[in-house]
């Protein structure tokens, strides 16, 4: 299988670079293919002849999206549509990623694929529209919703919490519930889903529901710092430009039928992740 991986400078794209034999994949950055320029897409596909395009490129600045919705839409919606159209024309498989933030957080249980989305912020709306455009343009497209992505290769929520605890400490929101997803685990599960011919919307996250506060204390303790330097607070006590769902826990009603093994509990993967960040000097 010949893969084209887009967005390779981010957490997920980097994870795919470790998961796929480089002889079977091309890893493209923005300098190689500018997704904002749709005229570049068809020639690039024609030149490199991939069998599967996996799009990891995304606008993920949730709060900033409230001030620049057009920029967020250009990447999360319009570029996704252009890729879906181009891959469909050439008979190439297409995978792209979406988010738990397509839901409003009011459901009293985890969200599954058939639950109705209702995003409460610009970021979620642009990702949901990207889903719609991908599936409309490419009948075989696979849209993977995931949540709270962290990795051992990039600065992220984990590194921010360790820096916070190493300084004066602070407050972390304790009433937003979700499932952290380890980028390397997600990459492996995505490739499994592709091998099994999955299409449509699929939820893939690590197991283990938590809150931002509980996750923060967990990683701070793994980093050898005092978790008591972090204190819980409510969403109302920590206002942000973008609203966030109180419950964005994702579950799947599809993975068992597809034969995809559930991703491990995130707590089982966290020690390796923290060690990796430490080795890379990203915890200081």
Tell me the C-alpha distance between 31 and 24, whole Å: 21
Tell me the C-alpha distance between 284 and 282, whole Å: 6
Average pLDDT on 30-50 reads: 92
The domain 3-153+178-208+249-263 is placed in CATH, from the list 3.40.50.720, 3.40.720.10, 3.90.1310.10, 3.30.565.10, at: 3.40.50.720
pLDDT tens-digit readout, 198-254: 999 999 999 999 999 999 999 999 999 999 999 999 999 999 999 999 999 999 999
Q: Is 123 a catalytic residue?
A: yes
- Whole-model pTM: value is 0.97
Among residues 101, 111, 123, 238, the one annotated as catalytic is 123
Q: Where are the domains of the chain?
A: 3-153+178-208+249-263
Question: What would you measure as the largest C-alpha separation in the chain, in angstroms?
Answer: 56
pLDDT tens-digit readout, 71-123: 999 999 999 999 999 999 999 999 999 999 999 999 999 999 999 999 999 99
Question: Which positions ≥6 away from 281 have C-beta within 8 Å?
Answer: none
């Amino acid at each position: 299988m010949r893969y084209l991986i887009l967005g390779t400078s981010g957490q997920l794209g980097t994870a795919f670079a470790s998961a796929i034999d480089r002889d079977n994949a091309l890893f493209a950055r923005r300098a190689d293919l500018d997704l904002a320029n749709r005229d570049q897409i068809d020639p690039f596909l024609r030149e490199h002849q991939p069998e599967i395009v996996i799009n990891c490129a995304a606008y993920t600045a949730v709060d900033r999206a409230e001030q620049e919705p057009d920029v967020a839409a250009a990447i999360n919606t319009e570029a996704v549509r252009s890729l879906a159209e181009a891959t469909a024309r050439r008979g190439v498989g297409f995978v792209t990623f979406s988010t738990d933030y397509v839901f409003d957080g009011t459901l009293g249980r985890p969200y599954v694929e058939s639950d109705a989305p209702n995003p409460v912020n610009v970021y979620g709306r642009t990702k949901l529209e990207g889903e719609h455009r991908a599936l409309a343009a490419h009948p075989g497209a696979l849209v993977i919703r995931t949540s709270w992505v962290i990795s051992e290769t990039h600065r992220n929520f984990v590194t921010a919490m360790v820096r916070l605890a190493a300084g004066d400490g602070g407050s972390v929101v304790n009433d937003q519930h979700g499932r952290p997803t380890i980028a390397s685990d997600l990459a492996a599960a995505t490739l499994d889903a592709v091998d099994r011919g999955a299409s449509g919307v699929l939820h893939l996250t690590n197991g283990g529901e938590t809150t931002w506060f509980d996750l923060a204390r967990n990683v701070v303790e793994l980093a050898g710092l005092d978790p008591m330097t972090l204190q819980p607070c409510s969403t109302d006590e920590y206002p942000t430009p973008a609203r966030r769902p109180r419950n964005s826990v994702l579950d799947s009603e599809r993975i068992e039928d597809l034969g995809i093994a559930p991703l491990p509990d995130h707590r089982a993967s966290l020690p390796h992740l923290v060690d990796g960040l430490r080795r890379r000097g990203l915890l200081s």
